[in-house]
């Protein structure tokens, strides 16, 4: 099903540093920003330097193309799928950085430390994307999660922000405990911490009960990070309470890293062949698609709408994840690309419309928006159409790719639920669009003062995202050709920490 290759990990070389250069740039960037803060530089300069560092980290990916696939010890496997996911995550951090200045400059809290946390969270998500070992998986997950604790509660003067931060802190701690206990049980049964090292035991005809219990506990921990049903209760409150750029990061990069590590783990242990795990995943996927869309119907807060929408979209993603096979990394990668693009376009508009005292999160704030700011209304409309899966947008192509993957393996029930739940989702997406076209220009107050240079940069980013949404919907051949070349390699290292 997946390619198996043997690598000698006993020797280390300078190529390891080249292969890990994007991660090293992100780690070094967090230190550099701390030094800039000590030097008492302005928020504007720190934001521009951070933007440049994100660009450098993204460009450094180009230097490792000739090395792929490359394994770094027992911890990391940098293949084409991992490199694609790292690029997608760094792009997410770059987009969040672009939208952060005009949002935080108007707030009372000093926003400089925010960029240190953003780099660390991006680093944690990238570590997850290439993890090939329980140690690196847990390390990446904790770097990501601990940074999010502070980012979610960054606006201390807002009650919702503190509430969201505490709720995420408590529940994330519980989920990490479930994940760690599950890893311990898997190690107890297999005697290995590397993904490939436990493949022989898990690939047997019957999965031992202790091993199945460990995998179930791990699924609980990862399910919380992905906010799938029934581990979704924190999602709406955290999305609403967190700053808008942070909410965009939670909805995209943090989940992308977890999906990548989860797919790599399942591929290594051939977990797709376990009927028990498959049944559990099917139930989670169906529940996420149904519950996510139904809960979004009655929301009047656009951040809560997008929160419940993200639950449904993770359910859609599982339709491509569950069947297994060589096409799964391709379908998952393309769907994440379309979902990330639409989500950033939507949250970018919310960021620009938000003021110093409160976010533009209630639907009444968008009434008659088209007559006041037609460009922003058009961008948000395209984003909503894409999330809904309307033809000629990226979302439609992504859902079609997922559907063909599920139907091709005979998972008709999942495909049927995806189609029906998507029809339900049309209501709340189109309600946002119709609200922007309702009323007249007189219903809207004047736009809040913004910073013209950074507002221009943000608008350029939004236009690029909108163009990508339309291009991926009308002419997706090039992007599909790129993801079809992605390989997710299962490795069998010669040495591991546990052996």
Convert the pLDDT of each residue in 293-328 to its tens digit: 999 998 889 999 999 999 999 999 999 888 877 788
| 497: confidence class by pLDDT, cuts 50, 70, 90 | very low
Contact 289, 421 (CB under 8 A): yes
Contact 302, 350 (CB under 8 A): yes
pLDDT of residue 119: 94
Average pLDDT score over the chain: 85
pLDDT of residue 202: 61
Pick 277 or 487 by higher pLDDT: 277
Quote the distance between the C-alpha of residue 414 and its chain's center.
22
Please give the average per-residue pLDDT across 204-224, as a whole number.
81
Please give the average per-residue pLDDT across 481-491, as a whole number.
76
pLDDT of residue 440: 64
Query: What pTM did the predictor assign?
Result: 0.91
pLDDT of residue 268: 82
pLDDT tens, position by position, 243-293: 999 999 999 999 999 999 998 888 888 777 777 788 888 999 999 999 999
Asked if residue 400 has pLDDT above 80, the reply is yes
Percentage of the chain exceeding pLDDT 90: 41
Asked if residue 499 has pLDDT above 50, the reply is no
pLDDT tens, position by position, 26-72: 999 999 999 998 887 788 888 899 999 999 999 988 888 777 788 88
pLDDT tens, position by position, 70-116: 888 788 888 888 899 999 999 999 999 999 888 887 776 667 788 99
Pick 42 or 497 by higher pLDDT: 42
Distance CA 133, CA 496 (A): 9
Per residue in 290-303, is it b (16+ CB within 10 Å) or e — as a string? Answer: bbbbebbeebebbb
Query: Which contacts qualify for 105-108: CB closer than 8 Å, 24 or more apart?
Result: 105/43, 105/451, 105/454, 106/355, 106/356, 106/448, 107/155, 107/356, 108/157
Percentage of the chain exceeding pLDDT 70: 90
Contact 193, 496 (CB under 8 A): yes
Distance CA 22, CA 42 (A): 26
| 360: confidence class by pLDDT, cuts 50, 70, 90 | confident
| 358: confidence class by pLDDT, cuts 50, 70, 90 | confident
Distance CA 205, CA 177 (A): 29
pLDDT of residue 110: 65
pLDDT tens, position by position, 410-464: 888 988 999 999 999 899 999 999 998 886 655 545 555 567 778 888 899 999 9
pLDDT of residue 108: 60
pLDDT of residue 66: 77
Q: For residue 53, give the nearest of 28, 35, 73 by alpha carbon.
A: 28
Beta bridge mates, 493: 7
């Amino acid at each position: 099903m997946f390619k198996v290759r043997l690598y000698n990990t006993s020797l280390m070389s300078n190529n390891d540093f080249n292969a890990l250069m994007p991660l090293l740039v992100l780690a070094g960037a967090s230190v550099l920003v701390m030094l800039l803060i000590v030097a008492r530089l302005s928020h504007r300069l720190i934001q521009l330097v951070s933007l440049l560092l994100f660009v450098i980290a993204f460009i450094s990916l180009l230097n490792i193309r000739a090395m792929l696939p490359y394994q770094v010890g027992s911890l990391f496997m940098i293949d084409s799928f991992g490199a694609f996911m790292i690029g997608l995550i760094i792009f997410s951090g770059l987009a969040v950085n672009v939208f952060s200045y005009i949002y935080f400059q108007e707030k009372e809290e000093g926003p400089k430390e925010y960029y240190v946390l953003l780099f660390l969270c991006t680093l944690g998500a990238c570590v997850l994307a290439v993890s090939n070992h329980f140690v690196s998986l847990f390390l990446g997950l904790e770097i990501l999660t601990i940074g999010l604790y502070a980012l979610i509660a960054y606006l201390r003067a807002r009650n919702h922000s503190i509430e969201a931060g505490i709720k995420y802190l408590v529940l994330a701690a519980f989920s990490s405990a479930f994940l760690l206990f599950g890893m311990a049980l898997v190690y107890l049964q297999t005697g290995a911490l590397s993904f490939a090292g436990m493949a022989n035991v898990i690939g047997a005809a019957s999965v031992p009960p202790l091993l199945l219990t460990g995998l179930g506990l791990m699924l609980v921990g990862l399910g919380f990070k992905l906010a799938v049903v029934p581990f979704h209760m924190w999602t709406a409150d955290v999305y609403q309470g967190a700053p808008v750029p942070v909410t965009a990061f939670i909805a995209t990069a943090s989940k992308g890293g977890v999906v990548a590590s989860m797919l790599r783990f399942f591929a290594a242990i051939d977990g797709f062949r376990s009927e028990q795990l498959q049944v559990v995943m099917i139930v989670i996927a169906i529940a996420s698609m149904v519950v996510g869309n139904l809960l979004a119907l009655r929301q009047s807060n656009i951040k809560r709408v997008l929160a419940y929408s993200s639950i449904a979209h993770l359910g859609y993603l599982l339709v491509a994840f569950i069947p297994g096979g060589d096409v799964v990394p391709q379908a998952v990668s393309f769907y994440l690309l379309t979902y990330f693009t639409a989500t950033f376009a939507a949250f970018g508009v919310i960021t620009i419309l938000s003021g110093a005292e409160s976010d533009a999160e209630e639907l009444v704030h968008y009434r008659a928006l088209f007559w006041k700011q037609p460009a922003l209304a058009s961008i948000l409309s395209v984003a909503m159409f894409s999330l809904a899966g309307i033809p000629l947008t990226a979302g439609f192509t992504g859902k079609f790719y997922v559907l063909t993957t599920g139907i091709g393996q005979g998972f008709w029930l999942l495909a049927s639920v995806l189609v029906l739940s998507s029809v339900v989702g049309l209501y709340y997406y189109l309600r946002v669009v119709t609200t922007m076209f309702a009323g007249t220009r007189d219903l809207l107050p004047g736009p809040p003062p913004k910073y013209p240079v950074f507002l221009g940069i943000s608008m350029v980013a939004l236009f690029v995202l909108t163009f990508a949404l339309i291009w991926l919907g009308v002419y997706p051949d090039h992007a599909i050709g790129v993801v079809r070349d992605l390989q997710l390699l299962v490795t069998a290292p010669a040495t591991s920490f546990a052996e």
